[in-house]
Structure 1
Amino acid sequence: MFRFRPGRRRATTRALLATASLALALGACGVDTVTPQDARREAGTDDKRGAVPRRVDCAKVKCIALTFDAGPGKDTPRLLDVLKEKQVPATFFLLGRKHVDRYPEVVKRMAGEGHEIANHTWTHEILTDLDEPEIRDQLLRTQDAIEAITGRKPTLMRPPQGRTDDKVSEVSRELGLAQVLWSVTAKDYSTTDSELIRQRVLDGAHRDAIILLHDIYDGTVPAVPPIIDELKRRGFTFVTVPELLAPGEARPGAVYRPQKG
């Protein structure tokens, strides 16, 4: 998943392709998931509950969440320009090594412009392959790096390739991190065709969807403006992941994933 070393990128892409179906299934891991509807239902109708302001009520409005993994990268400032112009909030799951530590000003800009900043580990290790101290190190190093830049520790994380289990959930709970998966992926790690990326997202879009994209791949950022324009035309309201769950709050250790539409 790293752009800076072509051989590593090809190897990571092969791994992602080989596990794409597993990442969405999770059945073999025996991990229960919570939908955005479940999170809102658990919280009831109390508008004062929770720390997330009720900018929109996703129980009544057709909401959708854009999320970007594995950045920031060289194209992220251009993506932030697009999001600012179109007044769309997003959730960024950031990698620590050679990303957060390489682009601190971009991370600071994300926070300053109201995007949700979340954790995608330090070096994109598959967490289910690690022992608990290694999982903790992967998450803590990125927590600390983001807090040093923004003044705030993330409350959300996305396990690489969507792979989680009880061990990952327990460490996440200890660190105050909820796990966020997705229901729509453009598989932009496998193509530079922006039109194909756009079409895959639009074909999968549904109410309460969480869309997975990567701002480190060449075809992705050019696909974002037409994705936003078409989804707005269809009546969707863009929200961050915490807004999607509000008035519910993401519970540390829990795994959130929308049902596919």
Structure 2
Amino acid sequence: MSDERAAASPAGGDTSKGQTRQGGAAGKGASGSQTLARGLQALEAIAGRPQGLTVQDVAQHLGVHRTIAYRILVTLTDFRLAVRTSDGRYRAGSGMVTLARGYAAGIREAALPILRRTADELGATVALIAAEGDEQVAVAVVEPRTVDYHLGYRVGSRHPLGIGAAGLALSSLRLPSPGEPADAAEVRERGYARTFGEIEPGAYGVAVPLHTADPGLHLCVNLITTRKDVADGAVPTMLRVAEEISTLG
């Protein structure tokens, strides 16, 4: 995020490989429902693999027998959260769209046209990033259609809060504390964060925190690029975009 685990990709493509967090949902089975935890982890894995996963892939990912993986996938399919295609692989289903629309009180869906316009205008990938606990997660990512080469990363990409432009912008939305990132106070005063190579070598990040009507909702808009001139010129536009999106919430 901000210069997030970016992958150089040609226009219209993202070569960053989908990843799922190990030891996440399944690792919490002792304190909750193991079946639910496995189902959520399977859903996360499918959502992160546009090419789809087989039953065996899911079984290996969860560390369970194929029969268990199959039952989980059938349940996800019944709720339209997954779909089995003609090649026998499971991909994200239409029910995921409904869930996404409910995220952040609809700001994500409403912000997408603005993000698309901005990405094309600036010729760089633009994203909506949210704070979840001590992590930052990309909830919407839009790549430009106006350039032949850009950086890209996937929705769901996660990094620790406080690093990269997005991490600093999100940290600035929290109350000042002794343990906060050193640059958070500067971001509060300046109104935006600017970094270089903090997460992805050679990538510039520009991020602006959103000030929505919900004080508990911590979001920012973020741009990544390998071009210094694009990052230098993007600040005024990103500030306007953040203000525009903030009014949506």
Bigger RCO (CA 8 Å, 6+ sep): 1
Whether these two folds match at TM > 0.5 is no
Q: If the length of structure 2 is used for normalisation, what is the TM-score? A: 0.28
Structure with more of its chain in strand, by fraction: 2
Instruction: Name the structure with the higher helix share.
Output: 1
